[in-house]
Structure 1
Amino acid sequence: MFPLLDGSNYPSWRKKLVMALTIADIDHAIETPRPMLPVLAAQDTPAAAAAAAADNPARQMSYDLEKAKWERSNKKCLMVIKGTIIPTTRDAIPECESATEYLQKIKDQFTGSTKAYAGALIKKFANAEYDVSGIREYIMKMSHMAGQLKTYEMEQKEDFVIHHILNSLPKHYKKIYIQTSLSRRTTTLRAKGSATFSKARALCMCCGKKGYHTKNCVDFLKWLNKSKIPFEEDPAKRGKKH
């Protein structure tokens, strides 16, 4: 499977990208320079200039054909390259007109200046605002950016990440999030409180120890077994069997 560039796998991504472009036969734009418009050299002699002028229609046609071929390849290469980069990483890479320039920008980001990329990434994370892509997608994108910062030893604390994402949401989403969060915390606290209270009340009538009831006491169970008395989990149900 073709790997997506996430900032930590540049060497393997570049190798497989070039291979894919070559196999698809659309690598012309990254193998050949952008075609130049044919012009007469200033140092040409009058005779050479006259000959070039006579040959100009053929040269112009050759240029037009090469230009069209190169531009088609360049467009396809850019589409493939951008499609194999995760959105948060792609957004931190400057736009370029040619695939060759774009690949060079990527190389500079991940091999020559890691700090520059990390700086651009944290700036993007800090200035991020909710878009119309959907709340789930936005939160996932922000979480992924936070994960990338960890790769560059710029890890942000989880509480800060959550707080920052919450602050970047529209007001109506903030209200829903806060209500849901409070509801979950209240439920959790009630459950913990109930469990703590139940545990505190527990007292074994056999050994006198706290923390568990008599029915869970090892000594009590041993005594029942030794006395050949059948164990009943709920003594209150004795005599109610039909």
Structure 2
Amino acid sequence: MNLDLVLHICEPDAITELSTQKVHFENWECSNGLSLMLVKANIFKSIKGSIPECTKATDYLTAMDGQFIKSGKQMASTLMEKLSSMKHHGLKGVRDHIMRMRDLVTQLKELEIDISESFL
């Protein structure tokens, strides 16, 4: 069915009577329509209203992605707050507590926030 053809191949030039790419263009156009319909059918209605209408699946996905851009500073602040306020309550093992702390540190490093060893 080549549903993802539209995501891997750029839109071909419009076909003319002399065009030899008619089959390629029709496959791309079919893939675009099916992909767009599939994406629209599987997102929440509350999200649909905030995304502008698009005729291409790639444009629609780009517009949808723009609605969910994360703020790196906000994420780093949240992670630092979680890390600094973590306490071991004894409900789970020490190993689990350490693994959760390491996970937070790894997420901070991905955001290019350096954590000194004295903090840990």
TM-score (norm 1): 0.27
1:87 CA displacement: 0.8
Q: Cα gap change, 1:87/1:67 in structure 2, threshold over 3 Å: closer, same or farther?
A: same
Aligned to 2:34: 76
Separation in structure 1 between the aligned mates of residue 70 and residue 9 of structure 2, nearest angstrom: 24
Aligned to 2:59: 101
Q: Cα gap change, 1:107/1:65 in structure 2, threshold over 3 Å: closer, same or farther?
A: same
Letter in 1 for 2:55: E
For residues 1-242 of structure 1, what are the structure 2 equivalents within 5 Å? 25-37=2-14, 57=18, 60-62=19-21, 64-111=22-69
Q: Cα gap change, 1:38/1:74 in structure 2, threshold over 3 Å: closer, same or farther?
A: closer
Separation in structure 2 between the aligned mates of residue 112 and residue 95 of structure 1, nearest angstrom: 23
**1:101-155 Cα shifts (integer Å, max 9, x gaps):** 0000011110168xxxxxxxxxxxxxxxxxxxxxxxxxxxxxxxxxxxxxxxxxx
Separation in structure 2 between the aligned mates of residue 103 and residue 112 of structure 1, nearest angstrom: 16
Q: Kindly, what percent of the aligned residue pairs are identical?
A: 30
1:86 CA displacement: 0.8
Separation in structure 1 between the aligned mates of residue 70 and residue 30 of structure 2, nearest angstrom: 30
> Which 4+ residue blocks in structure 1 deviate beyond 3 angstroms?
none
Q: Secondary structure, in 3 states, of the residue corresponding to 2:20?
A: helix
Separation in structure 1 between the aligned mates of residue 15 and residue 36 of structure 2, nearest angstrom: 26
Q: Cα gap change, 1:98/1:112 in structure 2, threshold over 3 Å: closer, same or farther?
A: farther
Separation in structure 2 between the aligned mates of residue 33 and residue 112 of structure 1, nearest angstrom: 27
Separation in structure 2 between the aligned mates of residue 32 and residue 112 of structure 1, nearest angstrom: 28
1:35 CA displacement: 0.4
Q: Cα gap change, 1:83/1:105 in structure 2, threshold over 3 Å: closer, same or farther?
A: same
Separation in structure 1 between the aligned mates of residue 70 and residue 35 of structure 2, nearest angstrom: 23
1:65 CA displacement: 1.3
Letter in 2 for 1:32: I
- Structure 2 stretches lacking a partner, 5+ long: 72-120
Q: Which has the larger radius of gyration?
A: 1
1:25 CA displacement: 3.5
How many pairs align? 71
- Structure 1 stretches lacking a partner, 5+ long: 1-23, 40-55, 114-242
1:66 CA displacement: 1.3
